[in-house]
Structure 1
Amino acid sequence: MGKSHNAHTILAIRFSAFGDVAMTIPVMKQVLEAHPELTIVFVTNRNWEALCEGIPRLIFYPADLKGVHKGVPGLYRLFTALRKAHPGISAVADLHHVLRSRILRSFYRMAGIPVAVIDKGRASKKQLTSKDNKVLRPLTTTVQRYRNVFRLLGYAPSDRVPQREQHLTGRRKIGIAPFATYREKTYPLAKMEAVIRRLLEYPDVDISLFGGGKQETAQLTALAGKYPRLEVVAGRYSLAEELAIISGLDLMVSMDSANMHLASLSGVPVVSIWGATHPYAGFMGFGQPEENAVQIDLYCRPCSVFGNKPCFRGDHACMEQLAPERVTERAAAVLGLR
């Protein structure tokens, strides 16, 4: 699909999940950087506007899919509101390819607007996560899949990955995000506590704890009460404020979860911990080197793409057998701690 001369505004759709939405941001920045004549209107969850702040020509548009935009009538309301607010949209990039995004894009298609859709590579992901006859190989990354959608519309992104200069002098600020949506990709809290204890043996290290929700905040608050130089960020700041705090870190230690992607937005190095999931599925943080992914090799890994399937072995070996020393050694290496 070629780019027409009057194509200046693209609608990009990605409703959820938070980490996947965060992964779209650096790609859209690359597209806008390569095409200064272009504007992108990004429709996503109404609570995530902070992800788009400070990016020229990236316009946030809130979707309330549990409220006014619920169901087919709600999605039509969203379409008509978008058409009124941004009548110049001349192409649609569906970065989600789920029922709701298909319905929204179909309204545009019926109006004669060209549409490009992400290829999720479901067949190859099924082979990667299969219990039998597993094909363990790196797949096309999610970031590259997003890039391909814009390329189909005639807007190839730039290849530039912003590099943040690290001046590792004085105190080191480490963020630790010990939780994930599913148990199968969450490092046991007792083991993460061992990581924290070891990192705090370095006198020039300060640690901020990230998470979400009342239960996680309560667990982190209890943990912070046991050690010095621990600060709880979870539950105390807006998303915009959390992003600002993350941007000031020297390192984030995270699961395969949203905080890995939020840190990647600011070019913060991430030591990521992988259990049931695997970097080969394509969800590594933007610009993060694979050597910073801490994991163990097991015949059963990965058993799912998103970590949402119960451990069929029943012992969660991928996390239980992962020694805390592996995490602390990698973190110390990235920070140059001796």
Structure 2
Amino acid sequence: MKIGIIRLSSLGDVVLATAVLKVLRQTYPRSEIVFIVRSQYAGVLKNNSYLSRVIEWKEGESFKALAFGLRKEDFDVLIDLHSNARSRSLTVLSGAKRVITYKKNHVSRRLALLRKSKPPGLHVVDRYLDAVKLMGVDTSGAAPAMRPDVDDIVWADGFLLENDYSGGLVVGIAPGARRKTKMWPAQKFAEIANELISSKNLSVVMVGDEADAEVGNKVLEGSAQVINAIGQTDIGRLSALLSRCDAVVSNDSAPAHIAAAVRTRAAIIFGPTIEEFGFAPYGGGGIAISRDLYCRPCSLHGTVRCPEGHFRCMEEIGSEEVFEAVEKILEEAPNF
């Protein structure tokens, strides 16, 4: 049997979708399992032994070409873990014998935005797993997982050593996010970095892509001892570096999910979004930090500026509270 899985983007969502791979392979050990993803996120699936292969939708390749390619695959089952207009079109055009689509909680999320309430609902990972249950898959113990390869681990270890790491604990910080309102203020990241370095005698490494350079520089202005890896990692190297951390502090963004996928616990800071949208730490993978305010949630994915003009959801979260969460992670079980 040939099984296809569609999750085209984005980085964090593709990471969460990896939860279905091991349990699918356990149920269908002789099947060909193929993952369809945008090429810029294919690094998530690098070194994944549960996949037969990956089909990358390359930059500049037309939607028509992708659809034609999928039709030639002649899938027995196509699992749509994206569930938008584009992915649904792909399932139709593919001619797959059976299509399974995961159920988004669009209505409850939209109602939560209107009512400023917390919607009942499953974690996104559990929604993905519910989709594969329709194939008779036992999803017990399933969780997102990435396995950094040896070259990336060697790079991560070398990078730390080149930046005066001399052993001991390492805490990662990820101050970036795709939208500004999802970003805890840079000076607060600097504050917690300074507190961790001075009181715990540990190393702090800052991660992110090139788009995070501006916020990263602001953190460095307030905490010069931070090891700066922003813009120096692809997905594989980022996963390896986070696997070498004993804890991570992140906004509600992809590094938090990558940390969990390599079994490193994270303190995740939620502002305009809420944990109940389905992106909280999964399976003991961290601690969620947020404020109950009359205006939350105000957005599904964050915005350019605070609609209320005060940004209280982030400003009221102090570095002391986040420090305590990191302490708890380090004392209890950095890796779960």
* TM-score normalised over the length of structure 2: 0.84
Within-5 A mapping of 1:276-315: 276-288=272-284, 292-308=287-303, 310-315=305-310
Gaps of 5+ in 2: 146-166
Answer whether contact 1:250 1:269 (CA < 8 A) is retained. Answer: yes
Alignment-derived partner of residue 7 in structure 2: 14
Query: C-alpha separation between the residues in 2 aligned to 1:299 and 1:286?
Result: 26
Give the aligned residue type for 1:57: Y
- CA offset at residue 10 of structure 1? 1.2
The match for 1:105 is: 91
Q: After superposing the two structures, state which structure 1 stretch, 117-126 or 309-318, moved more.
A: 309-318
**Alignment-derived partner of residue 123 in structure 1:** 107
**TM-superposed deviation, 1:227:** 4.0
From 6, 10, 25, the equivalent of 1:32 is: 25
Q: CA deviation at 1:225?
A: 6.5
Partner SS for 1:253: strand
Contact 1:34/1:157 (8 A) holds in 2:
no
Q: Distance in 2 between matches of 1:266 and 1:254?
A: 15
Q: Structure 2 vs 1, CA of residues 158 and 185 (structure 1 numbering), >3 Å: closer, same or farther?
A: same
One-letter amino acid of the structure 1 residue matched with residue 123 of structure 2: T
Would the aligned equivalents of 2:173 and 2:204 in 1 still touch at CA under 8 Å? yes
With 120-129 and 257-266 compared, the bigger mean Cα shift is at 120-129
Q: Secondary structure at the match of 1:40?
A: strand
**1:79 and 2:67 aligned:** yes
Which residue does the alignment assign to 1:72? none
Question: CA offsets per residue over residues 30-83 of structure 1, 9 Å max, x none?
Answer: 32234323332111111222211222231211012x5112xxxxx332133234
1:167 maps to what in 2? none
1:329 aligns with 2:324: yes
Q: What SS does the aligned partner of 2:89 have?
A: helix
Decide whether aligned partners of structure 1 residues 307 and 222 sit closer, same or farther in structure 2, where only a CA change above 3 A counts. closer
- Corresponding letter in the other structure for 1:56: S
- SS of the residue corresponding to residue 175 of structure 1 reads strand
What is the CA-CA distance between 1:140 and the residue it aligns to?
1.2
Structure-2 residue corresponding to 1:144: 126
Shift of 1:137: 4.1
Query: Which secondary structure does the structure 2 equivalent of 1:332 belong to?
Result: helix
For residue 94 of structure 1, the aligned residue among 80, 83, 107 is 80
Superposed displacement of residue 29, structure 1: 2.5
Partner of 2:162: none
Paired with 1:106 and 1:161, the residues of 2 have a C-alpha distance of 29
Distance 1:182 1:219, change over 3 A: closer
- Give the SS at the match of 1:47: helix
Unaligned runs of at least 5 residues, structure 1 = 1-7, 70-74, 164-169
- Distance in 2 (alpha carbons) for counterparts of 1:127 and 1:97: 19
Q: 1:305 aligns to what SS in structure 2?
A: coil
Moved over 6 A (4+): none
2:185 alignment partner in structure 1: 188
Alignment of 1:162-181 (within 5 A): 171-181=168-178
Asked whether the equivalents of residues 39 and 57 of structure 1 are also in contact (C-alpha less than 8 Å), the reply is no
Distance 2:23 2:262 in 1: 14
Candidates 227, 230, 233, aligned match of 1:231? 227
SS of equivalent residue, structure 1 residue 48: helix
User: CA, structure 1 residues 80+135, in 2 after alignment: closer, same or farther (shift >3 Å)?
Assistant: same
Residue equivalent to 1:274: 270
Q: What residue is the counterpart of 2:39 in the other structure? A: 46
- Percent identity reads 27
Structure 1 residue corresponding to 2:56, chosen from 58, 62, 67: 62
Q: Contact 1:9–1:38 at 8 Å: present in 2 too?
A: yes
| Distance (Å, rounded) in 2 between the aligned partners of 1:222 and 1:141 | 33
Distance 1:227-1:135 versus aligned 2 partners, 3 A rule = closer
Read off the aligned partner of 2:46 and give its amino acid letter: E
- Residue by residue over 1:202-225, the C-alpha shift from the partner in whole angstroms, topping out at 9 and shown as x without a partner, is 3431111011125x2254256447
1:264 maps to 2:260 = yes
2:154 — aligned with what?
none
